[in-house]
Amino acid sequence: MSVKATITDNGAVILGKSVACDAFEPTKPLRVVTHAHADHMTGLRQSLRTCEQVLMTRATKDMIDVMKTPLFLMGGSVETLDYGKPLHYGGEDITFFPADHILGAAQVLVEDSDRKRIVFTGDFRIDDTPVLESDILVIEATYGSPCCKRSFHGDVKTSLVSLVEKGLQRGTVFIFGYHGKLQEVMEILHEAGLNVPFVAPEAVFQISKVCEKHGMRVGKVVSSTEPEAQELLQQNSRCVGFYHMNCQNNVGLNSFRIIVSGWEFGSAARQTGIREYSVALSDHSDFNGLLEYVKRSKPEYVITDNFRVSHGETLAKEIRKNLGISATALPTRNLP
């Protein structure tokens, strides 16, 4: 059974005979990009050069076009798949299904010639992710430890909006996060009726335009290169600046700052500095959500992703203990 799926030492999730997800694998003709985060685009340039097809959703392609420029994906044969519409290749059917993570994220189902259902969740949040029944399940393990449990789901958005409103009383609020999550914050604030300009550097601004194109309601976003945005920031006006997490050490240091991070489990929000807060807005399932997916998927065998985050072995152990389902963490880590 397990030979139908594995995870290689360089992080490629192998499904069936032909598919490698989220990292380059030279022996597989099809490469899938489940979403446009860097740790799931490993070796993409090599895949574009050597794979017969590179598969992704249209939204993921649009995001990569912004992040890498459109010329990047023109280096190979890229095909966009709609959710629920299978691609037939070599006696197997490859189908994408939505994953509640960032815009364009996909779960991958491969049905082989024996009609075995091999599923890779990709990164997901169980809240709005359809659970796929499987024979073999490959699941992410970002928060795969029992210490990674949240009991405050309903409080996070309320806490976020309240903090932003508090900060706006002082002037500009700076929010730091990763691509996709920043746009989710924009949508939360916009839907809460926060009627102030949003300012973003060019990359964040362009990704916000992609999100808007695909149906997200992100509000009024102004590029930080525009005179209007520069004036807002210089005058400490009531506005919200959205910056990539990599900028948190050199942007808005003396202003009201919010960092959105999934690595918060004690409370929806906590103060980390004089004018700095961390909000537990995650785009990954916590430990309970991961177990719930496995339980509802009803697999015979589970592989936990032990490449991207080191909780794979813990999650596999907990699946065996709590659900009585055979589970293995891959790739195997060599102990010193």
**13-49 residue pLDDT tens:** 999 999 999 999 999 999 999 999 999 999 999 999 9
- Distance between CA atoms of residues 159 and 81, nearest Å: 37
| pLDDT of 335 | 47
| pLDDT of 334 | 60
Query: Element (H or E) spanning 270, and its range?
Result: strand 269-273
CATH class of the structural domain 153-279: alpha beta
| pLDDT of 1 | 45
32 φ, ψ (degrees, to nearest 5): -110, 135
Sign of CA dihedral 316, 321, 327, 333: positive
| pLDDT of 310 | 74
State the Cα torsion 304-310-315-318 to the nearest 10°: 140
Reply yes or no on whether the pLDDT at 296 is more than 90: yes
pLDDT tens digit string along 249-289?
999 999 999 999 999 999 999 999 999 999 999 999 999 99
Q: Which residues contact 84 (CB under 8 A, 6 or more apart)?
A: 95, 96, 97
- Distance between CA atoms of residues 280 and 287, nearest Å: 15
Q: What is the average per-residue pLDDT within 45-67? A: 97
Domain with CATH 3.40.50.10890 in the chain: 153-279
Cα–Cα separations (whole angstroms), residue 199 to 87, 160, 233: 40, 17, 8
Which stretches does DSSP call E strand in 280-330?
Answer: 301-305, 326-330
Report the percent of the chain where pLDDT is more than 70: 98
Provide DSSP, 87-148: EEETTEEEEEEE-SSSTT-EEEEEE-TT--EEEE--S--GGGPPPPP-SEEEE--TT-STT-
Q: Which residues contact 330 (CB under 8 A, 6 or more apart)?
A: 6, 7, 303, 304, 305, 306, 307, 312
Through-space distance between the first and last CA atoms of the chain, rounded to whole angstroms: 30
Strand partners, 53: 30
Report the percent of the chain where pLDDT is more than 90: 94
Q: In the numeric block, which tokens belong to residue 182?
A: 């920043």
- Distance between CA atoms of residues 26 and 310, nearest Å: 25
Question: 2-148+284-330 falls under which CATH superfamily?
Answer: Ribonuclease Z/Hydroxyacylglutathione hydrolase-like (3.60.15.10)
Which one, of 215, 168, 218, 154, lies nearest residue 188 by Cα? 218
* Residue 199 φ/ψ region, left for φ over 0, alpha for ψ in the -120 to 50 degree band, beta for the rest: beta
- Distance between CA atoms of residues 209 and 241, nearest Å: 16
Q: Are strands 19-21 and 326-330 parallel, antiparallel or unpaired?
A: unpaired
Strand order, beta sheet including 92-98: 87-89, 92-98, 106-111, 117-120, 136-139, 301-305, 326-330
Domain with CATH 3.60.15.10 in the chain: 2-148+284-330
Cα–Cα separations (whole angstroms), residue 34 to 3, 51, 253, 257: 22, 16, 35, 31
pLDDT tens digit string along 160-219?
999 999 999 999 999 999 999 999 999 999 999 999 999 999 999 999 999 999 999 999
The neighbour count for residue 127, using CB atoms within 10 Å, is: 9
